[in-house]
């Protein structure tokens, strides 16, 4: 499944680029993720996702496979295995940064290829795109602020990635969209 996200960030391109080159920071900023080891461009980590009362844990490895500072483009690839099940996931993310206006703002574009195998749900890419939007917005906002990320700012997300809450937020937004279309 292919997902796309774009957001304007209140930080200069150089600062955002530096934050994205810090693999540990990426782990601190993504909800439910933790990078446990870094060796050059390679990393080991985990993601905790909640689905109602059920918690899913994925252990994985990944690499920063491309870093082109002149083009402000990077690529990250990772694979993960569900700790207590048969689920598997692969992800390939391409980041493209563009300076805006006077250089104090940056547009970040993420193109994500995501494959889930064996998870207890099968949803369409449109639903996944809309459910992922608020998560990626939080992630990109964290990547644009000075400091070390959520743990330094006291905004740690120790509950993991809450898939049920994301789905609830998604279905709420779908209902609002439907009501708005009826009013027109």
pTM: 0.74
Q: What are phi and psi of 91, to 5 degrees?
A: -145, 140
- CATH of residue 120's domain is 3.30.530.20
The model's pLDDT over 60-118, given as tens digits with 9 standing for 90+, comes to 999 999 999 999 999 999 999 988 888 888 899 999 999 998 889 999 999 988 887 77
Q: In total, how many domains does the chain have? A: 1
Residues spanned by the domain of 129? 2-183
**Is 127 within 8 Å of 120 (Cβ atoms)?**
no
Which whole-number Å values give the CA distances from 102 to 8, 96, 146, 152, in the listed order? 13, 18, 19, 29
Quick: pLDDT tens for 172-183.
Answer: 544 555 556 666
For 55-60, the CB contacts below 8 A with 24+ separation are: 55/160, 56/82, 56/85, 56/87, 56/119, 57/82, 57/83, 57/84, 58/82, 58/83, 58/87, 58/89, 59/83, 60/89
């Amino acid at each position: 499944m292919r997902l796309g996200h774009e957001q304007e960030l209140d930080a200069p391109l150089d600062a955002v680029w530096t934050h994205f080159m810090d693999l540990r920071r990426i782990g601190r900023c993504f909800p439910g993720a933790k990078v446990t080891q870094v060796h050059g461009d390679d990393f080991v980590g985990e993601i905790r996702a909640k689905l109602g009362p059920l918690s899913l844990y994925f252990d994985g490895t990944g690499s920063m496979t491309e870093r082109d500072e002149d083009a402000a483009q990077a690529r990250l690839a990772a694979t993960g295995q569900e700790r207590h099940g048969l689920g598997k996931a692969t992800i390939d993310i391409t980041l493209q940064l563009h300076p805006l206006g006077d250089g104090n703002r940056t547009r970040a574009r993420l193109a994500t290829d995501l494959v889930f195998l064996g998870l207890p749900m099968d949803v369409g890419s449109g639903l996944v795109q809309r459910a992922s939007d608020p998560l990626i917005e939080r992630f990109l906002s964290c990547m644009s602020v000075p400091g070390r990320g959520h743990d330094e700012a006291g905004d740690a997300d120790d509950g993991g990635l809450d898939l049920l809450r994301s789905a609830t937020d998604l279905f709420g937004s779908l209902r609002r969209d439907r009501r708005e279309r009826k009013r027109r």
